[in-house]
């Protein structure tokens, strides 16, 4: 089907690598989401365009990986040397962050249903040799009618080098090392915070644990809401204790491990009751192990006792029953127009940052996902205060994904 057979209704999201629009298939009437990624010049030191490369990887992953709990790629226009990449998906009105916001606190039966679907999709993804690298509630979509959960936003995903499932073209592309410039900080694993470039599926398992923690939180809060990479490690070590080189030998090889010293600290895990039962907390902390090799895999997690006893899982439709009458969580815009491979008839985007459109935004401030930048400034582990100075800590991401910090500064 020609890409001109889609009519754009509004822009609904803008992320690191692209802009997403709600559109309609003019032939079938199907609601779809259109992701547009504009090609750019190669960055200094790189022989490829990382923005367009993300589209190629997203295409390759979603063409190879099909599962009911992974977003489906309906069509695409991603060609070598192209000026713009286009990827088209089914339109799903809700993301997990919004479902949690509207339904918090979740009952255990609701959490079981959502987590079971997340793990089913993740187990298939990992079984196919793919690591997502940016799992978080806003990147997990939920169908507003069926309640079906789907992993989405595969712009950072890639096949893990050296796994049997890795396609030959990807394995021979010469980019065996993994970038550290991925994953939103609050869901970033310790090895990534220490600069690892050979991490694997464990980074997704850590992010799953962080997401699970939000599902069982009374207020739906992030477990480790660090305002910097260094503070992120501080919060992690406050709960899990400082890492032991004997328990995690590979720690010594991480690029940034020796750039900062930490005071020894014993584990002090927060009690997540009453919403998190003993079995729920056992499963959660099985994902949040400092040593990535010790984290419970997605396939094994599906057989955990959390899913076998206690409250029964609810039907997925019941979770979105109160949401189906609404149009979804996206900010609507009045811009409309036909769609073509060179862009929109009325507006476009160069996809330059992490932001979502909102009429009342004073200043768009991204959630940082960059490499470590504070190690050389730190001589040791500061004791984080319970109330950080205003503007220091990244606030809880709002529904739109935009932080309004200008007025506070």
Helix (H, G, I), strand (E, B) or coil at 7: strand
Q: Can you say how many angstroms the Cα of residue 112 is from the centroid of all Cα atoms in its chain?
A: 20
Q: How crowded is the C-beta side of 147, counted as CA atoms within 13 Å?
A: 19
Beta bridge partners of 77: 86
Q: List, as own/partner pairs, every contact residues 124-127 make where C-beta atoms lie below 8 angstroms and the sequence separation is at least 24, other chains included.
A: 124/65, 124/67, 124/69, 124/70, 125/65, 125/67, 125/70, 125/151, 125/157, 125/204, 126/201, 126/204, 126/297, 126/298, 126/299, 127/165, 127/299
Here the tokens at position 356 are 């979502």
Q: Is 376 a catalytic residue?
A: no
Annotated active-site residue in 60, 95, 134, 256: 134
User: How many CB atoms lie under 10 A from the CB of residue 96?
Assistant: 24
Distance CA 157, CA 57 (A): 7
Distance CA 404, CA 152 (A): 25
Known catalytic residues?
Answer: 134
């Amino acid at each position: 089907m020609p890409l001109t057979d889609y009519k754009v209704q509004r822009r609904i999201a803008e992320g690191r690598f692209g802009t997403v629009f709600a559109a309609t298939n003019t032939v079938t009437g199907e609601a779809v989401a259109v992701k547009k990624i504009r090609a750019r010049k190669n960055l200094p030191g790189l022989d490829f365009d990382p923005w367009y490369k993300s589209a190629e990887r997203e295409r390759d992953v979603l063409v190879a990986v099909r599962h009911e709990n992974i977003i489906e790629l309906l069509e695409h226009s991603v060609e070598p040397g192209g000026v713009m990449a286009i990827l088209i998906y089914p339109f799903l009105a809700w993301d997990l962050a919004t479902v949690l916001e509207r339904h918090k606190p979740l009952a255990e039966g609701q959490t079981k249903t959502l987590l079971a679907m997340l793990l089913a999709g993740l187990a298939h993804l990992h079984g196919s040799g793919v690591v997502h690298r940016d799992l978080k509630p806003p990147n997990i979509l939920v169908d507003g009618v069926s309640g079906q959960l789907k992993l989405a936003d595969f712009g950072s995903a890639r096949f893990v080098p050296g796994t049997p499932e890795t396609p030959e073209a990807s394995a021979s592309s010469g980019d065996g090392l993994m970038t550290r410039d991925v994953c939103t900080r609050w869901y970033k694993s310790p090895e990534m915070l220490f600069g690892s470039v050979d991490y694997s599926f464990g980074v997704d398992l850590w992010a799953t644990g962080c997401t699970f923690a939000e599902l069982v939180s009374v207020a739906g809060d992030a477990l480790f809401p660090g305002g910097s990479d260094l503070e992120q490690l501080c919060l992690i070590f406050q709960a899990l204790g400082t890492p032991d080189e004997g328990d995690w030998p590979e720690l010594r090889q991480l690029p940034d491990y020796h750039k900062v010293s930490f005071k020894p600290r014993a584990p002090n895990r927060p009690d997540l009751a009453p919403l998190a039962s003993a079995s729920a907390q056992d499963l959660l902390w099985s994902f949040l192990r400092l040593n990535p090799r010790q984290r419970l895999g997605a396939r094994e997690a599906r057989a955990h006792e959390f899913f076998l006893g206690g409250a029964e899982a609810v039907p997925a439709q019941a979770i979105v029953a109160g949401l189906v009458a609404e149009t979804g969580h996206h900010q609507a815009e009045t811009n409309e127009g036909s769609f073509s491979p060179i862009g929109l008839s009325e507006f476009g985007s160069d996809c330059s940052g992490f932001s979502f459109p909102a009429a009342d935004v004073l200043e768009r401030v991204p959630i940082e996902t960059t490499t470590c930048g504070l190690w050389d400034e730190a001589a040791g582990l500061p004791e984080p205060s319970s109330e950080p100075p205003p503007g220091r800590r990244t606030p809880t991401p709002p529904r739109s994904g935009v932080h309004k910090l200008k007025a506070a500064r």
